A and B are shown apart, each in its own frame.
Chain A
Amino acid sequence: MDNRPSRHRPVRIPSSRCEPPGQRRLLIREIGGAFVRIGLLTEGGYPYVSGEARLWCDRLVRGLGQHEFDIYALSRSERQEDEGWVPLPPQVRRVRTAPLWTAEDDGGGRGRAARRRFAECYGELAAVLCTAGPYGGSGPPLELWAGTADPLATEADRFRSALYGLAELARDEGGLVGALRSEAAVNALERACRAPGTLRAAREARVPQLLAVAAHLERALRPLSLDWYGDDGLGSVDLCHAASGGPAALTGLLAHHFLGVPLLVTEYGVQLRTHYLAAAESSPAVRALLAAFHGRLATEIYDRAALITPGNAHARRWQERCGADRAKLRTVYPGMDASHFTEVGESPRSADPDTLVWVGRVEPAKDLVSLLHAFADVRKEEPKTRLRIVGAPAGPEGTAYLGHCKALAAQLFPDEADGLHEVGDNPVSFMEIGGPEVPTLADAYATGAVTVLSSVVEGFPISLVEAMFCGRGTVSTDVGAVVEVIGGTGLVVPPRNPRALAEACLALLRDPERRERLGAAARARALELFAVEQNTAAFHGIYLEIVSHSPVRRVVLDATGEPLPFAAPAEAHVPGRWTEPAARAVTGGIPGWATAEPPFRTADPVPAAEGAR
């Protein structure tokens, strides 16, 4: 049985922007070597220089050199496009880009039949959005639906059919931008909002709100008008890996719908939550309708995805909340490059035993004020202690906050000197990385015996992970994913509690042995969970797992270019899940090639969120 998905008809389409010249190479495919062609879907990220999460994607692509990557990138602004790309490794076969920030009226959907189809589908979509849903305001809570799954399933079905109806129309007509901006769309929204049984907030929508919703939907549905859903586009990849939720995942969802390409969704931050926070300024009607749209879209994406990999337990909880099946969730922590920190991490005694270090971007959410007050308490007990605050301010707000903190530090701690004849200085010093005292990030951690994190709001605490790599004792506040990251290898105190923070710092300052023990444990934990290798290996395993469960649907060619009969096994055509999930790991469900040559240890089930519990 040779159903390796590696023998595609070689397709090259003239892409507007192709791979960098001089970096092409012919792929040598060895028989039996596991080889997957991955369509990496990004939005405002890799390969743009200013993209979000580009480092992570870059490490992933470089780490999996034995696979081939097609990158499908949606850019977020003109500036981002102008700034160009990062250098791409040779395993990137091609890059296709599309702007999300602008869309020209493509003239799609002008015919009578097309207009009718559009009105039907859009009306259905609007009607679903205006109905109280699983997260909807006046709907009963999720638990009540659990027993009688019917109404919920019907709503999800209606949303699905409307979305795919629009997608098919966009594919037939070559674009939907004009139709989505048209009066027909606004009319459909108005009808849906005025229909009986709609959400209370939706009933109050007036003309400006309807226009705002229509404009936002047009923007959100722009991936429908892309010309990527052909056999020469996403049809030629073995699996789609969406590097974030939202538009990137919508692209993958459509590829799954049109072409049957399995979808893997990675979310380090939850798009739905971002939408809630971003939309805080608009009126209730707009927020209600858009929340319904993004909620239902997320549910549909999670429903169709083969696997979902949240980046931490927080993202995982949101995904579960949006209806993601637990069986599909695999937490894959972001990988970070540990090599810079090796030297510091291996020599824990180099640290100044009386110095506390704080590293990060200076902004109000980091609550440096509380840290300074805590440090005042520490100084009462241990007068020799010093505090280093390393980091640059983020934005004008951060600059103002830094100024405030400096003033507070000068007020709390007068300059002091060792003797009468020496120049004094302040026990609190503010520095930036790259300055003469802290040339690199590792040096920032190296100088202190204890690293402190005082944030009141935090997502995935990167500076904490870096401190763990450096083998430093840490004291952090219990926010975001801190507990999950630190596990039992550092001290955790409640946020906004300087007294508790001071106590914890003192405990570590006074007990070098404990500090060292915790630091070593933290380094070991970080190397196991947050190193690049675990991230790459986990994704390698996940890719193979997905591909091994996805039947090959296209014609497989033999060496001479002729179609190979019986290339796809008969069981590949059996619809649905024909083996029990539990059974397939044990039996020979996975073809031999999939496990033949694991480059890293093939993914042990990644420890999922144990730290949080």
Chain B
Amino acid sequence: MSGLADPVKVLMHRHRELCERAVDPLEIAAGLEAHGVTDRTAARFRHRDVFSLAEEMYARVPRDAETPAGTAAPAPVRARADWALLALLPGALCTAAVAGLHLTHGQQRPIAAAVGALAVALGLRAALARGPLGLKDHIRSGSRATGLWTCWLAAYALLGDGLLRAALAGGPDRLPTGASDGPWPLAAAPVLALTLSCAPAAWCAHLFAGRARRKLTASRSLEDFTASATPLLLGTFALYLCSLTALSALCGTVLDEPAGHAQAIALGALLFLARLLTLHGFTRAPALVLAATATAQATALATVFAARLPGWDLLITPVKTVVGMGGPAGVPTATCGAAALVLLVHATRRLTRASAHTPTDQPW
């Protein structure tokens, strides 16, 4: 040390990186101590303690005015093969179940229907457990009620129209047989289209999350981000709707069920938006809207039956009006469509905020 005119400069050179990135003297002091510098060492640099040595070093570091290089873009989350397979699972199971329904007759049919429904439910559960549609641990607890309402909505899509039609005609006289041409027919096409659309939904959610994260790093201010995230959200939503429309048309053609496009699309839009909101931590609004939708559908059915009581026949008027305008599918289409619209407005306000995209796995 004695041969050098400026021992601190040597020390600074040795801890160059530490000095350059330090935001205050204490950070240099902490770093120096971690490298074994003690007060006795500091005394050799004619300082009382490490703190005053660190202060000198901090003051002497040349600080150029230019900003440090921007943060590196986050590594994109790769779409993995197991996600893709899982996302395809519900669709495949549902296809199998529908095929089973068509191939079985008589007594076997209800059994096939029950097995199929169970398999599809389990498949959906698996598909929604991980991957882009999977929830983080801290959100999961709030989403149980949401699952229940979703089940109701799906069940209505499957059986509701038939029940409503039968009820308006004075029925139903017996339980559904599983055939699509009985007095209480099963509408398999919308449900099949919805389960098949799990794959595009997962892909859209993945796309949205990835793009949003990239925009996050690129934007200078929160306003910037909101401005760029709104078209992204609407684009993703439109993409999903397109794929769902295509799938619905395909299923209708294959199963020979021409009706029910609008209903499937409205329900799909509602469920997709609800999932997207839940994924980003907004659990309250989706749960509320789903519950309201399910309640509205249940009320519509209930009023039809209640109107059979003497003196209550006025109750049937609203349902009759809707059915008169759009057939039995008008009820779910109207309820789900309105709910989806509400959630879309909510999502454009919530999901375009930066705080919805806080990375959870990033080191500080």
> Is there an interface contact between A291 and B23, defined as CB atoms closer than 8 Å?
yes
**B328 → A minimal CB distance (Å):** 39
Chain B residue at minimal CB-CB distance from A107: B284
> Is there an interface contact between B222 and A277, defined as CB atoms closer than 8 Å?
no
Contact among A105, A135, A280, A283 with B281 in the assembled complex (CB-CB below 8 Å): A105
Q: Does A136 contact B (CB under 8 A)?
A: yes
> Is there an interface contact between B68 and A183, defined as CB atoms closer than 8 Å?
no
Contact among A201, A280, A321, A456 with B36 in the assembled complex (CB-CB below 8 Å): A456
Q: Does A495 contact B (CB under 8 A)?
A: yes
Number of A residues, CB within 8 Å of B: 60
Q: Does B221 contact A (CB under 8 A)?
A: yes
Q: Does B237 contact A (CB under 8 A)?
A: no
Chain B positions within 8 Å of A211 at CB level: 216, 354-355, 357-359
Q: Does A480 contact B (CB under 8 A)?
A: yes
Q: Does A398 contact B (CB under 8 A)?
A: no
> Is there an interface contact between B71 and A210, defined as CB atoms closer than 8 Å?
no
**B21 → A minimal CB distance (Å):** 7
> Is there an interface contact between B220 and A272, defined as CB atoms closer than 8 Å?
no
> Is there an interface contact between A206 and B70, defined as CB atoms closer than 8 Å?
yes
> Is there an interface contact between A288 and B24, defined as CB atoms closer than 8 Å?
yes
Q: Does B219 contact A (CB under 8 A)?
A: yes
Tell me the B36-51 residues at the A interface (CB within 8 Å). 36, 38-40, 49, 51
Q: Does B33 contact A (CB under 8 A)?
A: yes
> Is there an interface contact between A282 and B363, defined as CB atoms closer than 8 Å?
yes
Chain A positions within 8 Å of B23 at CB level: 137, 199, 201, 284, 287-288, 291
Chain A positions within 8 Å of B38 at CB level: 478-480
> Is there an interface contact between B355 and A186, defined as CB atoms closer than 8 Å?
yes
Chain B residue at minimal CB-CB distance from A272: B26
How far is it, in angstroms, between the C-alpha of A214 and the C-alpha of B357 when the chains are bound? 12
Chain B residue at minimal CB-CB distance from A194: B221
Q: Given A104-B141, A273-B30, A283-B71, verify A181-B24 contact (CB < 8 Å).
A: no
Q: Does A317 contact B (CB under 8 A)?
A: yes
Q: Given A212-B364, A216-B364, A290-B364, verify A204-B26 contact (CB < 8 Å).
A: no
Chain B positions within 8 Å of A154 at CB level: none
Chain B positions within 8 Å of A585 at CB level: none
Q: Given A207-B221, A216-B364, A282-B364, verify A483-B40 contact (CB < 8 Å).
A: yes
> Is there an interface contact between A207 and B216, defined as CB atoms closer than 8 Å?
yes
Contact among A103, A186, A273 with B33 in the assembled complex (CB-CB below 8 Å): A273
Tell me the A197-222 residues at the B interface (CB within 8 Å). 199, 201, 204, 206-212, 214-216
Q: Given A103-B138, A207-B216, A212-B364, verify A141-B55 contact (CB < 8 Å).
A: yes
Q: Given A104-B138, A206-B219, A214-B355, verify A479-B364 contact (CB < 8 Å).
A: no
> Is there an interface contact between A457 and B36, defined as CB atoms closer than 8 Å?
yes
Q: Does A286 contact B (CB under 8 A)?
A: yes
Q: Does A410 contact B (CB under 8 A)?
A: no
How far is it, in angstroms, between the C-alpha of A206 and the C-alpha of B218 when the chains are bound? 9
Q: Does A187 contact B (CB under 8 A)?
A: yes
Contact among B26, B35, B357 with A321 in the assembled complex (CB-CB below 8 Å): B26
> Is there an interface contact between B36 and A210, defined as CB atoms closer than 8 Å?
no
Chain A residue at minimal CB-CB distance from B225: A207
Give the 3 A-B CB pairs with smallest separation, nearest first. A276-B30, A288-B23, A456-B36
| CB<8 Å pairs between A and B, sample of 10 | A182-B355, A183-B354, A190-B222, A199-B23, A206-B71, A211-B358, A284-B68, A291-B23, A291-B26, A314-B33
Task: Show the binding face of A for B, using Cβ within 8 Å.
Answer: 102-105, 107, 135-137, 141, 181-183, 185-187, 190, 194, 199, 201, 204, 206-212, 214-216, 272-273, 276-277, 279-284, 286-288, 290-291, 295, 314, 317, 321, 455-458, 478-480, 483, 495-496, 612
Known pairs A206-B219, A317-B49 / 6 extra A-B pairs, C-beta < 8 Å: A104-B141, A211-B359, A212-B359, A284-B23, A295-B26, A314-B33
Task: Show the binding face of B for A, using Cβ within 8 Å.
Answer: 21, 23-27, 30-31, 33-36, 38-40, 49, 51, 55, 58, 67-68, 70-71, 137-138, 141-142, 216-217, 219-222, 224-225, 281, 283-284, 353-359, 362-364
